[in-house]
Every structure is written in C-alpha cells, then in structure tokens.
Amino acid sequence: MLIPQRCNGALRSGQGGYCAGVFAQLVDGPAAVNLRRLVPLDTPLDVERSDEGARILDGETVLAEVVAGGELELDVPPVSPAEAREAAAGYVGTGLGEFARCYVCGPEREDAFGVFPARVGDRDVVASPWLPAAWTAGDDGRTRPEHVWAALDCPTYYASYLDGPKLSFLVRLQVRIDAPVAVGEEHVVLAWPLGVDGRKRHAAAAVLDGDGAVLALARGLLVEPR
C-alpha cells in the first residue's frame, strides 16, 4: 500500500481520514480504523491480515489497525446547502501552519476539496458545502470511498474545537457509507461534538445530498498530544 503525496493532511504525512479509508478496504463491509502513527507519504507499506482485520506497517512500526465496524447509529442534525454555504464563508482554518495545505481543508491549496467547516449560526454544528472533483472518481464515476472518509475527517476536528483550534490528531475513525457520493454535485458535510474526556475529543460527521439524505456517517476520536 502507498499513500500518495497529493493526499496529505499535515505537510509530511497522509490525511488521517484518507489513510483510514484506504486501509478500511482491507476488510469487507463497514470498518473502524485505529491510527497509531502518522502515515508517511509515497512510502510502500506492508499489510498483515488476520481473522480480526489487518495491520499496516512501515517496517516493524505499526501505523494502523483495521477492524470490522460495529453498528453506527447517530441522529444527524439537519443542515441545508444554503446554511452550509453561509457557514463556510466564515471559515478561518486551524491557525496551525502544519495543516494549511491539507488536501481536504487547506486554504493554501488550489486543488483542495474546499471543505471549509465553520459554525452554523449559534448551533454546536459545523458545516461546509462539498463538490467532489472529477479526479476523486472511481471506475463507476462516483467518489471513491477513501475520499469520502477524508471529507468526513476534517469536520470532526472543527466540531471538536468550537471555541478555538488546538493541536490534536485523529486516532480512530469509524465510517458507514450508505449511498454513492456523486462527483460534480454539491453536498453538505457537517459535524458535531459528542463529548470530551481529558485529552480525548469525540465527534461525529455526515455527508448529505442536496435534499438532506444521509449518504455517509462517521464517528471520530481525536487526541491532543501530551
């Protein structure tokens, strides 16, 4: 396996959601991915399969573990495309230069997804429009699953830090994709906080179509470094 340079999060490592989405394809059906280390770019990675799932390694270093996902049921707050566009107009980024060129939410990249999550009014929800680019499509013409995972990742960060950014990293992402995400059509990506436990931040995210139907759902865990 190899994470391409184009799909970075921090400047020198793979975007967490994208990496998790690539690794998740090692198991059938819904999956959860535990990210143990930052994933290097353009580096051949090894895979160890087991009855429980798979491990991804860089030499002897375990980067991630994949397990078959359990049930993922969450109540998704409604956000309209107009509300998402209005929210994204207030996007200010992380303020952390390490992520300024993230391929999903990086404001300094012309080829970024343009997923710029910001607070929806005074609600504890962030949202952004998302128009998947043609290059994200698979052979079926739909957005490839790993890019859907990527689009679900960044909003969980902004939902976790509604009062201001702080350095943290995605360590677990569970995703359920219910329907294809069409290329070239506007979608809504939203996220909302689920709770705080010390250095741990729990958040959920979803991708909606223009009519508000839930196409994909995620639950993420972020951890602040010591």
What's the total number of domains in the chain?
A: 2
> Is residue 118 domain-shared with residue 50, that is, in the same domain?
no
In a domain, residue 75? The reply is no
In this predicted structure, what is the pLDDT of residue 29?
83
> Is residue 199 domain-shared with residue 136, that is, in the same domain?
yes
For 210, the domain range is 81-223
Spatial distance between the Cα atoms of 211 and 209, rounded to a whole number of angstroms: 5
Residue 65 · residue 53 · CB < 8 Å: yes
> Is residue 129 domain-shared with residue 35, that is, in the same domain?
no
In this predicted structure, what is the pLDDT of residue 149?
98
> Is residue 141 domain-shared with residue 219, that is, in the same domain?
yes
Spatial distance between the Cα atoms of 167 and 40, rounded to a whole number of angstroms: 19
Mean pLDDT, each 10-residue run in order, the chain (226 residues): 94 96 92 96 96 94 91 94 97 81 92 95 97 95 97 97 90 96 97 96 97 97 94
- The last residue of a domain, from among 68, 92, 109: 68
In this predicted structure, what is the pLDDT of residue 223?
97
Spell out the alpha helix ranges (H) of the chain.
16-24, 81-88, 145-160
Residue type, 172: R
In this predicted structure, what is the pLDDT of residue 2?
95
pLDDT per position as a tens digit, 66-99: 998 778 999 999 999 999 999 999 998 877 777 8
In this predicted structure, what is the pLDDT of residue 42?
96
In a domain, residue 76? The reply is no
> Is residue 117 domain-shared with residue 218, that is, in the same domain?
yes
- The last residue of a domain, from among 25, 44, 68: 68
- Rg, Å, the chain Cα set: 16
In this predicted structure, what is the pLDDT of residue 97?
72
Evaluate the CA torsion angle 2, 206, 194, 105 in order and state its sign. Answer: positive
